[in-house]
Amino acid sequence: MAVVTGTFATTGQSSALTGAGSGGKLTIAFSGIPNRALNLIRLEVSFDTGTNWVETTYSWNENTYITLDDASTSIQYRLNCLEHDAGTTIRYGLAN
């Protein structure tokens, strides 16, 4: 199992996590996002080992725990904090 954890105290990106492969799962979790806060975090993927990143349709602005299918070891995942409410520290985790 691979894990990436950290915090967003401002906008920016997490470190990348390489996909687990066939039958794998990707778990994403956030905490520390206050209700109605002006935060936006989006899941991004790379098909070329992190050179280019593509936005997915997955985005969050509240505390979240979700598990997605992860079927490829050639995909990398990262979180991109696009909007951040001043004074908020968001804790995140990616695992597969």
The one-digit pLDDT tens for each residue of the chain (96 residues) are: 789 999 999 999 999 999 887 788 999 999 998 876 788 999 999 999 999 999 999 999 999 999 998 878 889 999 999 999 888 899 999 998
Q: How much is the pLDDT for 34? A: 80
Locate the domains of the chain by residue range: 3-95
Distances (CA, A) of 76 to 17, 61, 92: 5, 22, 16
Task: State the Cα–Cα distance between residues 64 and 58, nearest whole angstrom.
Answer: 12
CATH for the stretch 3-95 = 2.60.120.510
**Residue 84 neighbours by CB under 8 Å, 6+ apart:** 8, 9, 10, 11, 38, 39, 90
Per-residue pLDDT reduced to its tens digit, 63-79: 999 999 887 888 999 99
